[in-house]
Structures are given as structure tokens and as C-alpha cells.
């Protein structure tokens, strides 16, 4: 999934269609003030949210019958979407829930995409409370708050729309960048600053060469926060993941606001 953890406390953003009376862990929707809890990413919640994704019966989702591993991973991997852009179903990709940076690192080496123009988007903010909609970890119709998220943006030829590969979205895999941004961060000009997305844009080759993850951010004194991927840790030495997430550190790539991402990679940028 996106990053290693999710905040289940209530967002205080002025979300479209919501009232202004927010309580911890909930958002009140509409005139009836129906209360819905933002997804708590315990394993049962992940399984139930994955089941809800399947229940949508969308034509762009097919079951992954070959998936093995822990229950969370198995449930989420059933959400394979066959892409109209590339013959790259989600089931053909290396994936472990809660390890988005490693999933995208693996995807940058996928033979189906290696000849394309590719950049990695790292999404976070200084408070590590970034609001995203359309994520499978959340209850359908509600947002989730991640500390960070990582996706791959691809195009095969100049002049073609950029496509976003997000393993954890309810949207198509891939979606055009404009669609993905608009559906994932709808009306974000009305959100509180602590919930707004910031983007670090890194060429995929640089991300693949420079990322080092010893998974220490996923460990506690009692063991793993979430089961680790079956593949070896990425790189050698201490993890540098936090440098990718610190936008005050000019470590690699460039740091942009959402409007700047649209200007550079959205449909308006196409010649």
C-alpha cells in the first residue's frame, strides 16, 4: 500500500458534499449527517475494503487466481486491472501491500515499460498527512490519509497523454495523469494545508539507481508493522527513503505543487 501507515483520525478538510461537524475518526456526509469512518489499516479493514472493491463489479477488474501470501496481499492482488495502454495486468506485477516505494521500484524494471519515458511521483507533505481519494484501503466513497505514496508516470511517445500506474487505486491501471490527479485530489484548493499533496518528481532510472530501503521504517521492537515483500531489500547500506520524503532536501529530482505537475505532465503540456 501507500507508505507504511495510515492515519485514521478525521480529516478536517472542507470536503465536497460534507458538513462542517467532524469528529475524531469520522466524517459526516450530507444533510442526513450519516457518519462513516475513514479506513483504519488494520488487516481486517484492508480485507473488507478489498472485498468492497471487488463488489463494484467493474469491467476493468479481473481476479488474480495465482496470488499467494498473507491475507491482505491476497485480497488486494485480486484487484488486477487490465490496461488499455499496455498489456500489463496488475497480476503480472510484483506487489506487496504497504510497501509502495518498493512496488514502484520493481515496476520501473518491468520489461513492458523499460523503453517508455518514465518518472516516479513521490507524494507526501511536511506533516505526513496527505489526503487521497479512490484508494482501495478506504471505505468506498471516503478518503484515506497516507504519510506518503509513490506512483509511476509513463508515456511511450511524445505527444501522448501521460499514464499513472497506482497499485492501490480504485481507478483504472493505468489512468491518465489528469484523471488520476482530479479523482485522487478533488477540490484540493479547498483543503487545509496539512492535507495537501506535495510531489517529488524523479526520473525512473534515478529512482531505481538511488533508492535504498532496509525496511527499518516498517520495524518495531515487537516485529514487523506489516509483512515484508518476498524479494530482498533494495540496495545496500542504511535506508535513504526519508531523504526522498524530505522536500527541504534537494536530494534528487524536483519538488512541485500539483498545478506544476499538471503544467509539466498534464494534457495541457501535450504539443
The answer to whether residues 184 and 132 touch, using CB atoms and an 8 Å cutoff, is: yes
State the Cα–Cα distance between residues 90 and 83, nearest whole angstrom. Answer: 9
Cell of 202: 524523479
Give 3-state DSSP helix, strand, coil % of the chain, rounded to 5.
Answer: 25, 20, 55
**81 by DSSP, 3-state: which?**
coil
Pairing of the two strands 223-224 and 175-176: unpaired
**7 by DSSP, 3-state: which?**
strand
DSSP tag of 161? P
State the Cα–Cα distance between residues 93 and 107, nearest whole angstrom. Answer: 7
Which residue, chain included where needed, has cell 488474480?
64
Q: Which sign, positive or negative, has the C-alpha torsion 225, 37, 166, 188?
A: negative
Cα angle 134, 137, 142 (rounded to 5 degrees) comes to 50
Minimal CA–CA distance to 195: which of 207, 206, 203, 187?
187
DSSP tag of 91? G
Which are the catalytic amino acids?
Answer: 100, 149, 166
Amino acid at each position: 500500500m501507500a507508505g507504511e501507515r495510515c492515519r485514521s483520525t478525521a480529516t478536517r478538510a472542507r470536503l465536497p458534499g460534507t458538513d462542517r461537524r467532524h469528529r475524531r475518526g469520522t466524517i459526516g456526509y450530507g444533510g442526513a449527517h450519516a457518519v462513516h469512518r475513514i479506513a483504519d489499516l488494520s488487516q481486517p479493514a484492508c480485507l473488507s475494503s478489498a472485498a468492497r472493491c471487488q463488489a463494484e463489479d467493474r469491467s476493468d477488474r479481473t481476479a488474480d487466481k495465482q496470488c499467494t501470501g498473507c491475507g491482505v496481499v491476497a485480497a488486494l492482488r485480486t484487484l488486477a486491472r487490465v490496461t488499455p495502454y499496455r498489456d500489463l495486468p496488475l497480476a503480472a506485477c510484483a506487489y506487496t501491500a504497504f510497501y509502495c516505494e518498493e512496488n514502484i521500484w520493481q515496476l520501473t524494471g518491468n520489461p513492458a515499460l523499460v523503453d517508455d519515458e518514465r518518472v516516479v511521483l513521490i507524494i507526501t507533505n511536511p506533516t505526513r498527512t496527505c489526503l487521497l481519494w479512490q484508494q482501495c484501503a478506504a471505505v468506498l466513497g471516503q478518503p484515506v490519509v497516507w504519510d506518503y505514496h509513490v506512483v509511476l508516470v509513463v508515456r511511450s511517445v511524445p505527444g501522448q497523454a501521460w499514464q499513472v500506474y497506482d497499485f492501490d487505486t480504485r481507478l483504472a491501471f493505468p489512468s491518465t495523469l489528469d484523471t488520476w490527479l482530479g479523482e485522487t485530489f478533488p477540490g484540493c484548493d479547498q483543503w487545509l494545508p496539512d492535507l495537501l499533496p506535495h510531489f517529488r518528481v524523479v526520473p525512473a532510472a534515478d529512482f531505481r539507481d538511488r533508492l535504498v530501503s532496509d525496511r527499518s521504517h516498517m520495524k518495531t521492537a515487537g516485529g514487523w508493522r506489516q509483512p515484508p515483500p518476498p524479494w530482498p531489500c533494495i540496495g545496500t547500506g542504511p535506508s535513504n527513503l526519508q531523504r526522498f520524503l524530505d522536500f527541504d532536501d534537494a536530494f534528487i529530482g524536483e519538488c512541485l505543487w500539483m498545478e506544476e505537475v499538471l503544467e509539466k505532465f498534464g494534457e495541457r503540456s501535450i504539443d
